[in-house]
Structure 1
Amino acid sequence: MTTHQPAGRQRAEAPASAAAAPQLRPIPAELHAAFQRTARLCPVSFLQTPAWARVKRSWQAEHLGWFDAGQRLVGTALVLYRQLPGLRRSFAYLPEGPCLDWADPRLDRLLEPLLGHLRGTGAFAVRMGPPLAYRRWTARTLKAATGPGRRIGDVLPDLVEPLGAAVSDRLREAGWRRCGEDGQGGDAQPRLVFEVPLAGRGLDDLWTGLNQEWRRNVKKAARAGVRTGLEGPGTLPAFHDLLRVTERRDGFDLGRGLEYYQRQYAELNAGRPGAMRLYTARYGGELLAAHTMVTAPDGQRVWYQTGASADHRREVRPSNALQWRMLCDAQAAGAAVYDMRGVPDDLDPASRAHGLLRWKLGTGGEAVETVGEWELPLQGAVNKALHRTMHAYLTRR
């Protein structure tokens, strides 16, 4: 989610004239999906696709589009609405969206129609997550900074993205609040993610980018006879069983049943076969690890979404073998970024949380702090009270 354009991607749409602000109106899901396949204004997250709306059945979904003076579609948004129990008011959420020209110097003319529309639906507050990077740290920088009590935020970044910084300033000036800054309502999506750049890199470069431990473990898996592959929805029950093992071992609970992953697999692949894939690592025929990978509508970004592994036979390193297979496949498909999703900001080697960060650092990628999620009460003190009630409700869920 960078502010610079990946290689080969240029902005196709000219910005709308200053005299005519883009118009916002509901659009069919089919038009929304078609726009995302060729969008060039900003990265498109799978969380903004019409397919994701079908995955999140407990939310009401609406597809919106911005049109310029020539009636060209120049931006889109998937809005998910969650109604408060017993009330007719709702909370509006745009996960990792909207997709629009965040570099427009008059950003307010794009956001004001959105806010007006949401008020008209009865929404009392809105949360959105601009798909932009803010700060970056290389693996080398973070490895050198590792130490007792250290956190990534304590370390001077290797790069501050100008657009991410500018958009953050503009949102704050317009009254938006960055989630979590007041100790309440943290981000629903990870603010700190880990990315492996792929654009312009060959397999040899990816291999040498792995640290020595990773290369040793991938080779160890190959010598042991670990076999990686792609499997279909019939393996999802076994994947879910492994995920429950992983949750118990690592002390977390995603709270998602098998049906959720079956629906996710079916819906994401319904319009774009291969958009979600299930990768597996087997040893002697036994499933030891299974990871899901999701591809963006334009193919420029892939996400390692959910990983599961067994407690036993960890010495044959199935997860390392699986990630290397997924990296290779993403590179071969022409993706510009391999996104390993969230990482903790803990640089203390004695901390249990640091283990996940250390494992991802071994790929030679970079930690990326995104702009994060921002919220805005839409009007009045009553709506602010409803906003606090919604936070309490979502936290309980």
Structure 2
Amino acid sequence: MSALLVPPGRGHHQHDGYQNEHHRYGGHHRHSRAIRLEPVTPQAYRAFLASPAGMALGAGFLQCPSWADVKEGWHSQLLGWGPDPGAGRLTGVALVLLRQFPGTRKSFAYLPEGPVADWADPDIDAWLTPLLDHLRRSGAFAVRIGPSPAYRRWDAARLKSLTGPGRRLRDVLASEVDPLGAAVAERLREQGWHRCSGDGAGEDGDAQPRHVFHVPLTGRTDRDLWSGLNQEWRRNVRRARKEGVEVFVGTAAELPEFYRLLRITEQRDGFRLGRSLAYYERQYAALNAEEPGRMKLYLARHDGEILAAHTMITVGRRVWYQTGASADHRREVRPSNALQWRMLLDAHTLGADVYDMRGVPSTLDPGERAHGLLRWKLGTGGQVVETLGEWERPLHGTANHALYRAFQAYLKRR
């Protein structure tokens, strides 16, 4: 699916583009066609993701079958839409994670950054309705999804000049607006879905980041990528090279060192991911069992000591920088900049369309601690992308609505 991007400053074109998308979805006289939804095998699911049709939908790693093996405490289902899902004739797929609500036989259904489907389809109800029916029969009382269309984008150069006390992304006119995202959001609201949060990256209810950072790679050379870095980034990469920082791809044996550095980073930067070493070992094993090289561990070494470690995940033509960690000392040799530059070049060599640096905070206030992460990623010259975020709805039935309200209260207490 290719998003229709409309630059700001062309109000009538933005309006017309939105109206065109709205017309495709619009009105209350839609006649949904029936699309079959059935459980599918991991082999059929992976084959679809690797097919041209699946690649075009751009599945994220959170919708790969292997992700079910990473998440403890959840049951999972692999589902597929199409004319004959059982025979592998698919048009979309979904990894559904199910978590039982304490004291009941009912479950909360979660599709992280999914389903993998054509959100540009003017009749999204044709495949969402069978999904809801299936989940209700499976004992789910509510469902959360993560639609893939983007909503807005801000270029790095634009944001760097618009920081200020109390400012947030929502205060700045976007560089690009995607009318498809707006149309999908409207359709979901009409069908009883509601956004899990109002703003931020993983804030106020979203489990996955609302705002992410992308470095476009398509059609660019290594020289273009280097020119896209700001002066500080280029200076830091040169410094790391001059100081003899060595970047290499490690193995599972280095995961304990990565985790040690991650704990240092959490304490220094004031956050807590709440994940154990076993979690990352399980993730590394599961993703690479599904496809060798799907998850890589990059490490930066200086004078025989590992100073930084970052993880990278590849699915199709998409590459993600997932988690970064670094030591408190010898930061002047810039190991993290060296790592990111190597990972960016490797993503480009792999033929990726975009290098996704994952979540960024929504604050543009240099006085806020979280702004440092945004500032660091802006230096690569990419774009902040606001996704549609995560959406929830209770499934039909009085008991399900009551349980959903209890579940919301449970989450707030946690």
Q: TM-score range by the shorter chain?
A: over 0.9
Count matched residues.
383
Matched, 1:247 2:266: yes
The 5 Å alignment of 1:138-287 reads 138-181=155-198, 186-287=205-306
Please report how far the alpha carbon of residue 335 of structure 1 lies from its aligned counterpart in structure 2 after TM superposition: 0.3
SS in structure 2 opposite 1:73? coil
Matched, 1:79 2:120: no
Matched, 1:342 2:355: no
The one-letter code matched in structure 2 to 1:214 is W
The one-letter code matched in structure 2 to 1:3 is A
CA RMSD of superposed structures (Å): 2.0
Match in the other structure for 2:17: none
The one-letter code matched in structure 1 to 2:400 is N
Structure 1 CA distance for aligned equivalents of residues 353 and 212 of structure 2 = 16
Please report how far the alpha carbon of residue 389 of structure 1 lies from its aligned counterpart in structure 2 after TM superposition: 2.6
* Selected match of 2:407 from 381, 390, 394: 390
CA contact (8 A) 1:146 1:348 kept: yes
The 5 Å alignment of 1:13-24 reads 20-24=33-37
* Selected match of 1:42 from 37, 43, 57: 57
Matched, 1:31 2:31: no
Instruction: State the Cα deviation string for residues 170-210 of structure 1 (Å, max 9, x = none).
Output: 10111110112499961100010000000111100000000
Please report how far the alpha carbon of residue 395 of structure 1 lies from its aligned counterpart in structure 2 after TM superposition: 4.9
Give the direction of change, closer, same or farther, for the CA distance of 1:375–1:64 in structure 2 (3 Å limit): same
* Selected match of 1:58 from 59, 66, 73: 73
Structure 1: gaps spanning 5 or more residues? 6-17
Give the fraction of aligned pairs with identical amino acids, expressed as a percent.
62
- Normalization by structure 2: what TM-score? 0.89
Instruction: State the Cα deviation string for residues 242-261 of structure 1 (Å, max 9, x = none).
Output: 00000110111111111110
Structure 2 CA distance for aligned equivalents of residues 395 and 41 of structure 1 = 37
Structure 2 CA distance for aligned equivalents of residues 359 and 49 of structure 1 = 29
Please report how far the alpha carbon of residue 3 of structure 1 lies from its aligned counterpart in structure 2 after TM superposition: 2.5
Instruction: State the Cα deviation string for residues 23-45 of structure 1 (Å, max 9, x = none).
Output: 00111111111111121452101
SS in structure 1 opposite 2:50? helix
For structure 1, which segment, 259-268 or 39-48, has the greater mean C-alpha deviation from structure 2 after superposition?
A: 39-48
SS in structure 1 opposite 2:57? coil
For structure 1, which segment, 27-36 or 44-53, has the greater mean C-alpha deviation from structure 2 after superposition?
A: 27-36
CA contact (8 A) 2:211 2:385 kept: yes
The one-letter code matched in structure 2 to 1:178 is R
Structure 1 CA distance for aligned equivalents of residues 322 and 56 of structure 2 = 24
Give the direction of change, closer, same or farther, for the CA distance of 1:215–1:282 in structure 2 (3 Å limit): same
The one-letter code matched in structure 1 to 2:40 is I
Match in the other structure for 2:3: 3
- Normalization by structure 1: what TM-score? 0.93
Give the direction of change, closer, same or farther, for the CA distance of 1:208–1:182 in structure 2 (3 Å limit): closer
Structure 2 CA distance for aligned equivalents of residues 323 and 394 of structure 1 = 35
Match in the other structure for 2:312: 293
Please report how far the alpha carbon of residue 273 of structure 1 lies from its aligned counterpart in structure 2 after TM superposition: 0.3
CA contact (8 A) 1:185 1:391 kept: no
Structure 2 CA distance for aligned equivalents of residues 255 and 24 of structure 1 = 35
CA contact (8 A) 2:32 2:126 kept: no
The 5 Å alignment of 1:358-377 reads 358-377=375-394
SS in structure 2 opposite 1:170? helix
Please report how far the alpha carbon of residue 68 of structure 1 lies from its aligned counterpart in structure 2 after TM superposition: 2.2
Structure 2 CA distance for aligned equivalents of residues 219 and 350 of structure 1 = 28
Please report how far the alpha carbon of residue 232 of structure 1 lies from its aligned counterpart in structure 2 after TM superposition: 0.3
CA contact (8 A) 1:29 1:63 kept: yes
The one-letter code matched in structure 1 to 2:3 is T
CA contact (8 A) 1:95 1:189 kept: yes
Give the direction of change, closer, same or farther, for the CA distance of 1:255–1:110 in structure 2 (3 Å limit): same
Structure 2 CA distance for aligned equivalents of residues 382 and 145 of structure 1 = 48
The one-letter code matched in structure 1 to 2:347 is A
Instruction: State the Cα deviation string for residues 141-166 of structure 1 (Å, max 9, x = none).
Output: 10111111111111000111121111
Give the direction of change, closer, same or farther, for the CA distance of 1:396–1:335 in structure 2 (3 Å limit): farther
CA contact (8 A) 2:299 2:306 kept: yes
Match in the other structure for 2:19: none
The one-letter code matched in structure 1 to 2:397 is G
Match in the other structure for 2:327: 310
Give the direction of change, closer, same or farther, for the CA distance of 1:123–1:328 in structure 2 (3 Å limit): same
CA contact (8 A) 1:93 1:126 kept: yes
Give the direction of change, closer, same or farther, for the CA distance of 1:104–1:290 in structure 2 (3 Å limit): same
The 5 Å alignment of 1:129-140 reads 129-140=146-157
